[in-house]
Amino acid sequence: MDHQFIHWLGHASFRVEDGEQSIYIDPWKLPSSCPPASLILITHPHYDHLSLPDIRRIATPDTVVLATADAAKQIPLHCKLVHPGQALSALLWRIETVAAYTLKSTSHPMAHGWVGYTVTLESGMTVFHSGDTDRTPELEAVRADVALLACGGTYTMNGAEAGEAANRIAPRLVIPMHWGDIVGSRSEAEIVRKTFTGDTVIKEPER
């Protein structure tokens, strides 16, 4: 399937094009050429997911920001607060939040209420961003056309776990993320491709 509308900006940062609109998820270390944001989604407040300089670079007076309560406290813009298991609308899009937490590490406890996002584009296509998570029941209950899955290990799933989760989600396409910066190497993304029985695209970061 076509995936050129999904831009991996490195680590867990993405820009999703929907017509002339741009949706950013966890913008961090953005290239200077990034267009302004219609919608910004923040999964949790760790510095590699919530970057105020990058948010300021792409935000306009009309940009809508969705963030967890602890992340929103750090953002000097009006934010819509989100929590796991929520369904809401933002501008043109339907959004669902999914609990994102780790079991092997204490770095992302379930009690913090951090999230991943499923976004329904105008075409009806759904794009899921896992946030920082392990292979959890909530993750495996997701259904989406495209799954952006953390696979770097240490603070999230590793490649094998992300590939096994993808087999349960059964998207049309998986794009591995959260590798190549801070933690995880390309080898983890290759393991996702080997483990997942569907299509996997390993992107190069646009920086």
The DSSP-derived string for 77-130 is S-EEEE-TT-EEEETTEEEEEEE---SS-SSS-GGG--EEEEEE-TTS-EEEE-
Identify the pLDDT of residue 104: 79
Ordered strands of the 146-150 beta sheet: 87-90, 93-99, 115-120, 126-129, 146-150, 173-177, 199-200
Mean pLDDT of the 164-175 span: 98
Domains in the chain, please, with CATH? 6-200 (3.60.15.10)
Give the residue from 91, 95, 87, 96 showing the smallest Cα distance to 37.
91
Phi first, then psi, for residue 192 (nearest 5°) are: -55, -50
Mean pLDDT of the 37-53 span: 98
Q: Taking a C-beta distance cutoff of 8 angstroms, is the pair 139, 133 a contact?
A: yes
Does the structure show a pLDDT above 90 at 167?
Answer: yes
CB atoms within 10 A of CB 10: 21
Does the structure show a pLDDT above 90 at 106?
Answer: no
Tell whether pTM > 0.75.
Answer: yes
Mean pLDDT of the 153-176 span: 97
Mean pLDDT of the 92-118 span: 94
In whole numbers, what is the pLDDT of the chain averaged over residues?
96
Which residues make beta-bridge pairs with 149?
A: 176
Rg of the chain, C-alpha, whole Å: 15
